[in-house]
Chain A
Amino acid sequence: MKNLRIGLWVMAVIAVGLFALFAFMLAKPKNDFVASAMIGQPMPEFTLEPATFDRPGLATTDFADGQPRLLNLFGSWCIPCRAEAQTLEQLERSGAQIYAVALRDRPEDVARFLEVYGNPYTRVGRDDLSETQFALGASGVPETFVIDGQGVIRYQHIGVIAESDVATLLEQLRLAREPL
């Protein structure tokens, strides 16, 4: 009888613990972002044709020159990408070099987009079938990676770069100066 009582108490405690866990997990804000599992790994191999008329295309080899930079994934059709044009320009003025991949886009549309919203990019490669996006483990636009001078992916920022993210990205660029 005593054993049974202890057993019941144990079960009650387990049940309460489970419900506490449910409550805790349900109260957490849902995070829809799928983070890349490629952080800390070398960039995948790719060679992309220019996505616009006045900037060269982009290849993996363009990254391994010792200088850390940002890699921005965008599309001229992507509304949120317009919102981060200003912060990208701010980052560029702060000394960040920004390479870009235009996803599922046409050169004339990319050119128009860059004309209207500004062009902070040194190179823009076109990824017509999202292949580079998949190879990077990126799940949408806009998305921004910090790539170190050895071509290793060091940091991923998912979504629009807000004013408040600029400092973080500059800090990550600074950290990427030191090899892993």
Chain B
Amino acid sequence: MLRALLAALLALIAVPLLAQSNVPPAPYAYTQLDDPRLEAEAHDLMLTIRCLQCQSQSIADSDAPIAGDMRHQIRTRIAAGESPEAIRAWLIARYGDYISYEPQISSTTWPLFVLPVILLLAAGTILLRRFRGNAGKGDAA
């Protein structure tokens, strides 16, 4: 019994509780691009890409290793001449709309863009009719 307990204790010590990878971060995870214009492009894109691990953060804000690798991916692609929107499209093709914080009009999101316009038009028509009606009454009185 005691021996089993000891073995269990030893096993606990022997297995390091590594929650994350122990390899160093990707070269461009924490290193900016030399060209400030390209770095600005890359950074603007990073601010609008969701971290897959810490899903309420952008990859620019997250310290998760996966976010670091994604920053590396984005910086190398930008440095190779790819446009930010092409990279966003590449990511959306893999992870769906959810990966991007930038609102996109798609088959599921179009009501969000159309509804406010309809509501505004409806409100406008109602107000117009009301004013006209009141104006008419005012004239009569």
Contact = CB atoms under 8 A, between A and B. Distances in A.
Interface of A: 32, 34-38, 75, 77, 79, 103-106, 109, 128-131, 133-137, 139-140
Contact of A77 (B20, B53, B70, B72): B20
B69 A104 contact: yes
B30 interface: no
Contacts, number: 68
B73 A34 contact: no
Contacts of A129: 26, 69, 72-73
B26 A37 contact: no
A103 B70 CA distance: 13
B69 to A, nearest CB: 4
A134 B73 contact: yes
A37 B19 contact: no
Residue in A32, A36, A37, A105 with the greatest tally of chain B CB atoms within 10 Å: A37
Contacts of A38: 93-94
A106 B99 CA distance: 29
Contacts of B92: 37
Contact of A139 (B18, B19, B95): B95
Nearest to A44: B94
